Amino acid sequence: MAFFLNKEQVREQVKQRLKDNGYRVTSQRLAIVELLFDLEHPTADEIYQSLTSEFSNMSLATVYNTLHSLENIGTVRGFSCGEKCFRYELYQENHHHLICNECSKIVDIFLETCIDTAKVAEQTGFKNVTESVEFRGICAECADKLSAPAE
């Protein structure tokens, strides 16, 4: 996924947004942001597994709380990717997700017809409005496998 901001800029932006919104800047919060920069669409559990050695006192609940705070400041977007599937991503540019029905691969797609979230915010009084549209299909690799004759 192509980001407008590099990791250092994201760090600075998040620090500022945390302060502006009355949240403390903690190393755990920043570590989660950096991990989100490196991983595409991780689950909360994947984030937890990746950081548990670095932050031995971090619980899965802390990860969820942090993701929630980061959503509130408009840095993170959580989205559902099917039954019992919920993933997170660093949110910089509005985009949609195309999910493969077979292997659950998620591809970011950028369309010109994104909803004007600023307008939605203006009309409703909501803050940090994001939009999450899910497209589904079968990816090229899975389509190949499906069409191959059974052995």
Residues lying near Zn ion in the complex (CB under 5 A) are found at 89, 100, 102-103, 105, 108, 139, 142
Distance of CA 17 to the CA centre of its chain: 17
Closer to Zn ion by CB, 19 or 105: give it.
105
Closer to Zn ion by CB, 48 or 91: give it.
91
| Of residues 88, 91, 30, the one with CA closest to residue 55 | 30
Closer to Zn ion by CB, 53 or 140: give it.
140
Count of CB atoms within 10 A of residue 105's CB? 13
Closer to Zn ion by CB, 58 or 90: give it.
90
Cβ 22 to Zn ion shortest distance, Å: 28
Cβ 56 to Zn ion shortest distance, Å: 30
Cβ 94 to Zn ion shortest distance, Å: 10
Torsion sign (Cα): 5, 94, 27, 35: negative
Cβ 119 to Zn ion shortest distance, Å: 22
Bridge partners of 77? Answer: 89
For the chain, where are the alpha helices, taking DSSP H only?
7-20, 27-38, 44-51, 60-72, 117-124, 140-147
